[in-house]
Structure formats: structure tokens, C-alpha cells
Amino acid sequence: MDQAQSLREYMYRFNVQQEPKHEVPEKIGNHSARVITITSGMGGVGKSNFTLNFALGLNEVGKKVVVLDLDLSTANINILMGITARNSLADVLHRQKSIWDVLEKGRAGIDYISGGLEIQNLKELDPNTLSFFWSQIQELQTYADFILLDTGAGISKELVDFILASDETILVTTPEPKAVADSYAVLKTVLQFTKETPKFRLVVNRAQSYREAVDTSRAIKNASSSFLKFKLVTLGFLMEDVHVGQSVRSQLPFFISYPNCEASKNMRQIIHSFLPESNEFPTTSTKGIRNFFEKIFISRR
């Protein structure tokens, strides 16, 4: 019996033995979900809060979104939603759960998966375990329109891998000089590892005024153009809004608790700029979530 036949029989026996604990959700079509990495050059700029409310904004206009929390050091998405993650992607990796078992229901129809996964451990997996993991990840490709990856802040090899494997990246910063410098450092580091032109979009958060937001955006874009020969696209701005802090303390996203506050209005403008019919990045091809993890796996070998 060849290895391929053995693997097919193994997968058949595994699938027969496992009783589904949750009803498999309906898929949305035959297309692949777009994988968006959301990151920042430093912590404390509101990256995770942006990710959650950005997901809610996409959901409001009818897009199916899954948020995958890959910030292993300070996973915040579940805290911001006021929920406790019972399972994680690591449970799928070890064949304990299906992808639908670890898919948590968050606020306003947002699906959420806790990471809990050391990506570098993928290279240590045996073929059977890895095959099962790929089969489960594959299920997400036609389930969602967008999969948002909330990554750890700061520069690391892991972050570079995430960015290069994604369809595009949203870089969140604030007008604080250190945040601006660290955002530029993220761009510089990523460009050192690829000959391709990665798709980056910039969001300036917590700006005291529209003028400050524009000046912050221009500073990063000018530095990127002059020194990196890279054209950075600005996605939008979020003004400083007292309702954001109030929503964090109440563990209810501002897009839900204060739908008409300035931050929510800003987010709707960002959603409008982001969607395919109006953005600067054509969506002729999509890598998909399985392709994302496979690229991560290959880069770690």
C-alpha cells in the first residue's frame, strides 16, 4: 500500500470516528476569503480595537468576517468583546477539534478564533496531523468574505511572514512620534525580505484633528516614498473620541455601543474606502487562508 493510500484511509477512519459537535455553517460561495493582516509598529495604538470594529463595519454592509487572533502574547479580541474563548486554533492542530468547534460567536454576528498557536511548531508536525490541519483550514476559505488576522505589535520574523503571506496588510499608527517611526520600520523591514510589492494601507488612529491625521499620514508616506521607493496608500483616519475608551471599559465595541459617534462615522468612511469597488487594490486574485498557512509553513522549514 502506497503512502497516499494510507493517508486517505487514515483520514477516512478519522472522519468516521469523529462525531460533529456543532452544525457546519453554510458556505457563502466558491470564492476564497481575502486574508487581511492588521498590525502596528508598537503596542498601545489601538490595533486590536480597530480590528474588531473594522470587522463590525464590514459586517454592517453584509460581509461575512472571521477574526483570527494571532497575537499570542496579549490576545485582546475576546476581552474587547467581553467573551471567553473556550477553544483555539491549537486544538485543531492537535486533532482535538474541528474548525467549527473552535469558531466562537462574537458580537453582532462576528466569528472569532483564538490563535493559541506557535506557528514555528508547524514544521514539526507529522504528515497526518498536518493534512488534517490543512483540511480544516480549507473550510474557512468559502465560509467568509474576509479573514482578519490580529497580529502582535512590533517587528518580528513571524510578522514579516504573516504580511508576505496575506492578501494585504493594514498598518495602524497614531500621531505619536515613536508610533510613526515604528510604522516606518515595519515597512522597511518587510521590504527587505521580498522583491514583490506588498499591499499596505495606513490607518491613523487617535488623531486630535483632521490636520494632525493628514500630517501623520504624509510623514510616513513621504519617508516611504523617498527612502524605500514604496508608495503607501492611506486607508483612513480615526479621530480621538471619548466613546472609544468608554466602550473598551464596558467590553462592548464602539461600533455597537455608540453607532453614531465620531469614531463609528470614521469607521464607515474607512469601510467605504476599503471595499473592492472603491479601493486602489484590484481583487483579481485571492491567496486564501490555506495558502496563507502553507506559506508560513514553508517559510519556517
Domain membership of residue 269 as a residue range:
28-300
Distance between CA 10 and CA 76 in Å, rounded?
37
Using alpha carbons only, give the angle 193, 194, 197 rounded to the nearest 5 degrees: 135
Amino acid at 112: Y
Count of the separate structural domains present in the chain: 1
CA 96 to chain centroid, in Å, comes to 24
Q: Is residue 85 part of a domain?
A: yes
- Tens of pLDDT along the chain (301 residues) come to 444 444 444 444 444 334 344 555 665 555 689 999 999 999 999 999 999 999 999 999 999 999 998 876 566 788 888 888 888 888 887 767 899 999 998 877 789 998 776 666 666 667 787 788 888 888 888 899 999 999 888 888 888 988 999 999 999 999 999 999 999 999 999 999 988 899 999 999 999 999 999 999 999 999 999 999 999 999 999 999 999 999 999 999 999 999 999 999 999 999 999 997 555 655 556 777 877 877 776 665 5
**HSE value, Cβ hemisphere, 13 Å, CA-based, for 55:** 33
What pTM was computed for the model? Answer: 0.85
Amino acid at 217: S
Coil, helix or strand for 14? helix
User: Is residue 190 within 8 Å of residue 164, measured between CB atoms?
Assistant: yes
Q: Is residue 7 part of a domain?
A: no
Q: What are the cell numbers at 301?
A: 522549514
Question: Dihedral through CA 274, CA 64, CA 113, CA 105, nearest 10?
Answer: 130
Q: Is residue 18 part of a domain?
A: no
Write down the pLDDT at residue 241: 98
Looking up residue 80, the CATH number of its domain turns out to be 3.40.50.300
Q: Is residue 146 part of a domain?
A: yes
Q: Is residue 4 part of a domain?
A: no
Phi/psi for 171 (5° steps) reads -105, 115
Q: Is residue 48 part of a domain?
A: yes
Q: Is residue 295 part of a domain?
A: yes
